[in-house]
Structure 1
Amino acid sequence: MVLIADSGSTKTDWNTLNTTDVLQNVQTIGFNPMYQESDDIYTELEKSLLPQLKEKAPSAIYFYGAGCSSPERNKRVSDALARLFPQSDIHVDHDLLSAARAVCGHKPGIACILGTGSNTCLYDGNKIIDNVPSLGFLLGDEGSGAYLGKLLLRAYFYRELPEELAKSLKNTYQLSKDTFLDTLYSAEVPSRYVATFAKFMHDKRKHPVIKEMIFENFELFFDRHVVKYDGHDELPVNFVGSIAYYFSDILKTAAKKYGLRVGTIIQSPSEGLIKYHQELLQKSGAPNNE
């Protein structure tokens, strides 16, 4: 039996599974070693995870998390887990690897995260072999919900939106420059706030101006990231995240322009990640109770 964790900054999904079944699914708060020390992670896990688990001794733990992008950060998580599960084999990796394993499985491909933020990688069926950096909210995140929000808000405040769209946006969010900037600069995670405006774009996605913005967002994403990978014109390009999922029709149209072959599009990596690890267990010949 193994324990799989898919952790964002807000929540973590924990699944215990054997070769054929998911034995238990629980949730805790999210963890990010960019902002949390090992002791803090351990304390929270002891309080919120351990009491929920029926199986206290998984043979292995696979933790995929936001912020798990360096050996030092990963060690903060693995040290906390090792204190709780001293007999378990512990693996800590970036959430980009969980996305790749969820959508590509054991086959090569290009994996893309399109949610609040964006990221991509070239995956060989086991590990990430190339990554065009995202650069985050301030300098990058093309293709993401935050970038969609930026395109919309710039057009609104620069008076470039058609009148009916501008009025609808203003009425929906009670939007003014001062209230927007106050909220933006006081937000704990500014990108998450800006990304909330993607919902308006989804509601209005059939309007030609909004549709063009969404298409531009995906064009920039493919231009600056996906086409940089060797084999992009042959390998399937797969997606995880709400923006890819809810704007999939326009995403596929943009991909066609670049001659890309769209593969899997899923909102959350959990189902694909469970399948990946069950296949690993089956290949290893692990008994169903281990």
Structure 2
Amino acid sequence: MILIADSGSTKTDWCLLDLDGKRNYFVTEGYNPHFASAEYIIKSITHNLLPKINKQEVYEIHFYGAGCEDDKVMVMEEILRSVFINCEQIKTEVDLLAAARGLLGNEPGFAAILGTGTNTCIYDGKKIINNIDSLGFILGDEGSGAAIGKKILSDYLRNKMPSSVKKAFDGIYGLSPTAIIHQIYGAPMANRFCASFTKFLNHPEVDSDYVYQLVKMSFTEFFQQLVSCYPAYNSYAFNCIGSVSFHFKPILEEVLYEFQMQLGKILPSLIAELVSYHTHPENSYT
């Protein structure tokens, strides 16, 4: 069986593909080796994925993950080998390559991620040929769920929210400023914590103008600081994967048109597209 995974910092989409082509999909939490230890990831996969599959039958794994670059590629592959001890072939790649392959297949173009974090690239149909570093949760990730969540928390802590929005926030979360600061600066996975507040913008008591202004500002910063920095960026269609891009698609469209880009594919997830990519004869395991 072939196991394919698309892992962000918040969730991982898995597909187990059997010899008859049957697809079985699963979801676990996300595994970013920059924010979670090897011990934590092994324990989570063991408890949350293995009860659903027969690990002895997995002979090939394609794992795409946020943070799986440079030395973290080897870290993630060692984690997977320790769990799937009989697996013959394990390949770990950065989640941005999954975005490019899922959105574009073997065609060249522009691909982006707007989920818990942010990433962007120019893809030549085989590999990423230009990537401007998003700089991660602390220095960048403009437009991401974590960035939007930081803006929400900043507005709350500085009393910049409209009174009705602040009342709704207090009613839903009941968090003290001290508790918020501790979660961001004293607890692990602060990016995931911040991103979790994007769903607050869906609450019926949250003023729609507040939502629009906050999200549009975040997407504008994303285009200013990342997208528009690529040479001839507006000669490409804008293709993007991620819950943030999908959920706030109307605002995203407005901003990309302001930056003179055409709309391409906007998908909430791409595990099905990745499975199709890896089952195409042209893209057999190498």
TM-score normalized by the length of structure 1: 0.82
RCO higher in 1 or 2 (8 Å CA, sep ≥ 6)? 1
Structure 1 partner of 2:276: 275
TM-aligned CA distance change 1:45 to 1:103, over 3 Å: same
Which shifted more, 109-118 or 149-158? 149-158
Identity of matched residues, %:
36
Structure 2 partner of 1:193: 193
Total equivalences in the alignment: 281
The alignment's C-alpha RMSD in Å is 3.2
**Any conservation in 2 of the 1:12–1:30 contact (CA below 8 Å)?**
yes
1:199 offset after TM fit, Å? 1.5
TM-aligned CA distance change 1:155 to 1:273, over 3 Å: same
What is the CA–CA distance in structure 1 between the aligned matches of 2:28 and 2:214, rounded to whole Å?
36
1:109 offset after TM fit, Å? 1.7
What is the CA–CA distance in structure 2 between the aligned matches of 1:144 and 1:285, rounded to whole Å?
32
1:42 offset after TM fit, Å? 7.1
- Determine if the alignment matches structure 1 residue 77 to structure 2 residue 55: no
**Any conservation in 2 of the 1:56–1:85 contact (CA below 8 Å)?**
no
**Secondary structure of the structure 2 residue equivalent to 1:197:** helix
What is the CA–CA distance in structure 1 between the aligned matches of 2:246 and 2:26, rounded to whole Å?
24
Structure 2 partner of 1:184: 184
**1:34-58 alpha-carbon deviations (Å, 9 max, x no partner):** 4545x98778767854982387253
- Gaps in structure 2 of 5+ consecutive residues: none
Q: Which amino acid aligns with 1:75?
A: M
TM-score normalized by the length of structure 2: 0.83
**Any conservation in 2 of the 1:82–1:88 contact (CA below 8 Å)?**
no
TM-aligned CA distance change 1:254 to 1:42, over 3 Å: closer
**1:157-210 alpha-carbon deviations (Å, 9 max, x no partner):** 333333222322233322442332234334321122222221222336762233
Q: Which amino acid aligns with 2:247?
A: Y
What is the CA–CA distance in structure 1 between the aligned matches of 2:58 and 2:169, rounded to whole Å?
52
Structure 1 partner of 2:259: 258
1:250 offset after TM fit, Å? 0.5
| Larger-gyration structure (1/2) | 1
**Secondary structure of the structure 2 residue equivalent to 1:106:** coil
Structure 2 partner of 1:242: 243
What is the CA–CA distance in structure 2 between the aligned matches of 1:207 and 1:28, rounded to whole Å?
32
Structure 2 partner of 1:117: 117
**1:82-138 alpha-carbon deviations (Å, 9 max, x no partner):** 574667343211111111111111111221111122111111111111111111221
1:277 offset after TM fit, Å? 1.4
TM-aligned CA distance change 1:57 to 1:178, over 3 Å: closer
**Secondary structure of the structure 2 residue equivalent to 1:244:** helix
Which shifted more, 47-56 or 93-102? 47-56
- Gaps in structure 1 of 5+ consecutive residues: none
